[in-house]
Structure 1
Amino acid sequence: MKRSRLGMAALVALALVVSACGGNGNPSTNEGGAGGDAAEKVKITLLNSKSEIQQQMTNAAAAFMASNPGIELEVITAAESQSPVERASSLYAAGTPATLAMLDAGDIAKFQDKAADLSGEKWVADLAQPNQIDGKTIAFPFAIEGTGLIYNKAVLDKAVGGAFDPASIKTTSALKDLMAKIEATGVAPMVIGSMDWSLGNHYLAIAYATQPEGDVNAFLAQLKSGGANLANNAVFNGLLDTFDVLKQYNLGKDDPIAIVLERSAAAVASGEAAMTFNGNWLITEMQKTNPEGDFGFIPVPVSDDAGNPANASLAIGATKQIFIDKEASTEAQQAAAKAFLNWLVYEEAGQNFLVNEANVIPAFKNITLELSNPLAKSLQAYNNAGHAIPFAGNYVPGDHWKVLGASMQKYLVDKADRAALAAEIEEYWKSVK
């Protein structure tokens, strides 16, 4: 889930939208609701927090409007330095909230008093798994996503002298041995993207998801209470042992912060580097360099125990979720917003957008389109095999990526040692209310 740069949700049945909005299924009242000029369009906005698909989302909005001429849908986004929750909050503060707001899953609860109850929507019954807060569905799961070590299959096949099997990497030591083989072929084994959202909400969060107790919320509660000692935590240290291996073989080791998302994607796609840590959304950027490339996932090992199931699992979850504003939006605008969500789930053009243009794994059982890109296929294979850990980035506060992403960046550039990193993480969580 690239930041604006993985529970689930629901929508009003299309029949209800048709009934509420006129015989053609399109809301025809103006922004003022009842009594408006029927010739005016209902204007709604969508806050898109997946900037890598901003153009695709804009194209989808155009396709939706073409089939719903009574609705005008504007797609807005957040600045690179602004988190989705910050952008949504600023819009509310200005009195102009987005009609539909796409946020990281962990931030939806902050807006539950402003979110329309979608529990009665048709698509709730088609969800692959429930998505509720306090017994209600208040958000629409836009994407199932996951993270791990993304590899270029051609590069790894050459390094191992045959068909590379990602299941062969079950420990940190096995990963290090693989990297030595890759290096011997003249290719950089790894390129680490320095993005704070990636290092903070995605890599670091693996430590939250792979604790022996298996309960993310319980471990975060320990951190908040000051009861977790990370310096002596085996999973945390195991994850950083792996990170140290990644640093050792990093293509950008001379200037690690200079490696941004686009650089890391191009390096792996072109075969300049064998692997990077990121999520399946990276395919959009990778295919700019290598549209026909074959790529896959290797889980991030957190120990040298080959029997540890976490070492064979990807972090997977419903990362991006959309809620509909009920505080400032008229009934007509809410109905139009629900019509858009229905369009995504039930119309051919909407389904095609999700699978083939946004390159996400839909969260709905009724969408049976074959996944069109190798990273989505790889992710789905892990998920279907039960090799998944929680996408713990869904459980963290909105500023986690920025604060602890910066802490991870200091560790990446050797400006903080492991003890200092552990202390900063513990201090952050003790400040979380």
Structure 2
Amino acid sequence: MKKKLTPFVCLLLVLSMLLTACSQGKQTGATGENPDATEAASKDVKLTFFNTSAEVNAVFENLFKKYHELHPEVTIELIPTPIGGAQLEKFQSLLASGNPATIANLDPGTILQYKDKFLDLDAEKSKYEELTKPGAVEGALLDGKFLGIPWTAQGYGLLYNKRVVEEAIGGTFDPQTIKTRNDLESLFQKIEAAGKAPVMLHGADWSLGAHYLGLTYSLQSNSVDENRKFVEGLKDGTASLADNAPFNGLMDTFDLLKKYNARSKDPLVADYNKDSADFAKGDAAFYFMGDWTWAVIGTLEGRDDEFGIIPVPISNNPEDFGNTQIAYSEPKLLAIDNSGSTEAQQTAAKAFIEWLVTSEEGQNAIVSQMGLSLPYKDVKVKGTNIIADAVTQYVDQSKVLNIGVINYLPQDYWAKTGSSMQKYLVDVIDRKGLIDEVQAYWASQAGK
């Protein structure tokens, strides 16, 4: 005969069952019987991105949001820098605080200066050699090391507004007809006679010091190593600008640009947006600038539709090195921190960068939204940057001037020598005065 349970015993049994269930519930949470949530939490990683391409901060922020949608475990925070601001100082302060950015979009020279702080990407090198156009990875090497992944390429020279040039000459303009300084001057004379300013010369120190005078160091040879030796010669006094043919040829052409400059009445105003807009709308036929100016030109209402680029001729011998080549470089590289980032952050950073340069979303942002060129073989997106397309034609014909020597120059070279170029532009100093100031700068760098 079964014994009947009393109400008290029943209550004990119920309490016992509840306690057991609670115990099992706690055990389930502790041992991870909900593996998805636990695994996601363990893989969550936050990256920071230091950006010196300040004009495209918003584009990068949108990319980070998109990547987070695709990879919820990865969050990327932008560390912006202002256009023309103290970018290097901000980067240095992050290092000094022990809180460096995981990924840094920097000039190659800055990466070289702080090479011990960045991850050696040699294990990634062969992959990117397959993905990029010939020479892209080689051009990104710094002292032989692969420390930064190329993500954009830029070219510069004398941009031209096709409508203005063709109206002045009364026919179709063939850029290949300009092979010498005399060719260029003859064209300028025709443009001036037609009532247009032949050329726009931007008076900022970065344009004059880095882009124009900076050509001096790349015109010595098609070898970056040989060009580095020339710079060392300027430092120790064994090389002189006074008797250097590429430098003097370059400055003779600069005198020509000064003579026909649309901004000759006030050459140091250096309003980048206005200069770019006025060129795009036909107030000047040529503009010493690079394909990056499409970020301004491309969005303008009432601008002209067709633009191109020619090299800066430095002599009257069409065979001279530099007369048929445009300046070309990978001005920014993506480097990964190795001074304070975890292995998980470094792995996530590598994955993001590869996605950025190979995915349709990343390529669309770089090519269409930023208006830049990708030095990659399989670019799925057609860009709208007409000037970048013109640069690509020179690249495909191997008619480019490798300006990689600038990666090894001091961080202040363009500001210091650019100031001297500004004095020369407004005739405060003559050619000898310019040479004296520029050589004095290089002498001050001896032994550094």
Q: For residues 85 and 427 of structure 2, what CA distance do their matches in structure 1 show?
A: 26
The structure with the greater share of residues assigned to helix is: 2
Q: How far does the alpha carbon of each residue in 1:367-406 deviate from its partner, in whole angstroms, 9 at most, with x for none?
A: 3544432111110111111211112433422111211111
1:264 Cα deviation (Å)? 1.4
Range that drifts further, 39-48 or 200-209: 39-48
Alignment of 1:240-251 (within 5 A): 240-251=251-262
TM-score by length of 1: 0.86
Tell me by how many angstroms 1:270 deviates: 0.7
156, 164, 174: which one pairs with 1:155? 164
1:258-306 per-position Cα deviation (integer Å, ceiling 9, x unaligned): 1221111101111111121111111111112256621111111111212
Q: State the identity %.
A: 39
What's the counterpart of residue 228 of structure 2? 217
- Residue 107 of structure 2 corresponds to residue 107 of structure 1: no
> How far apart are residue 134 of structure 1 and its match?
4.8
1:285 lines up with 2:290 in the alignment: no
Pairing of 1:41-60 with structure 2 (within 5 A) = 41-60=44-63
- 1: CA distance between counterparts of 2:380 and 2:48? 28
Task: Choose which of 348, 357, 363 in structure 1 pairs with 2:360.
Answer: 348
Inter-CA distance 293–132: structure 2 relative to 1 (3 Å threshold): same
Q: Which one is further off, 363-372 or 410-419? A: 363-372
- Point out where structure 1 has 5 or more consecutive residues left out of the alignment: 1-27, 30-34
**Is the 1:123–1:345 Cα contact (8 Å) retained in structure 2?**
no
1:84/1:102 contact within 8 Å kept: no
SS at match of 1:45: strand
- Check whether the contact 1:209–1:216 (CA below 8 A) recurs between aligned residues: yes
8 Å Cα contact 1:222/1:228 also seen in 2 = yes
Alignment coverage as a number of residue pairs = 401
Aligned pairs (5 A) from 1:363-382: 363-382=375-394
Q: Which amino acid aligns with 1:367?
A: V
Structure-2 residue corresponding to 1:400: 413
Deviation (angstroms), 1:69:
2.0
Q: Are the equivalent residues in 1 in contact too, given 2:228–2:408 (CA < 8 A)?
A: yes
Name the aligned partner's letter for residue 169 of structure 1: I
Contact 2:154 2:329 in 1 (8 A): yes
SS in 2 for 1:315: strand
Asked if the contact 1:287–1:293 (Cα under 8 Å) also holds between the matched residues in 2, the reply is no
Letter in 2 for 1:108: I
Q: Which residue of 2 aligns with 1:419?
A: 432
2:329 and 2:412 mapped to 1: Cα distance?
19
Q: Which one is further off, 103-112 or 139-148? A: 103-112
* Deviation for aligned residue 1:81: 4.6
> What SS does the aligned partner of 1:278 have?
strand
| Structure 1 pair 154–420 and aligned structure 2 pair: CA distance change class (3 A) | same
Q: Which amino acid aligns with 2:228?
A: N
Alignment of 1:32-181 (within 5 A): 38=41, 41-82=44-85, 84-121=87-124, 122-128=127-133, 129=135, 130=137, 131-181=140-190
Deviates more, 1:238-247 or 1:335-344: 335-344
Q: How big is the shift at 1:41?
A: 4.7
Aligned to 1:300: 312
Q: Say whether the 8 Å CA contact 2:182–2:316 is kept in structure 1.
A: yes
Q: Is the 8 A contact 2:163 2:304 kept in 1?
A: no
Q: Which has the larger radius of gyration?
A: 2
| Cα distance in 2 for residues equivalent to 1:326 and 1:212 | 35
SS in 2 for 1:189: strand
Matched residues in 2 for 1:124 and 1:306: separation?
34
Distance 1:231-1:331 versus aligned 2 partners, 3 A rule: same
Provide structure 2 residue ranges, at least 5 long, that are not aligned to the other structure.
1-35
Instruction: Identify the residue that residue 359 of structure 1 maps to in structure 2.
Output: 371
1:74-115 Cα offsets, whole Å, 9 max, x none, are: 223334454544332232123332211111122221121111
Give TM-score scaled by structure 2 length: 0.83
What RMSD over aligned residues (CA atoms) do the two structures have, in Å? 2.3
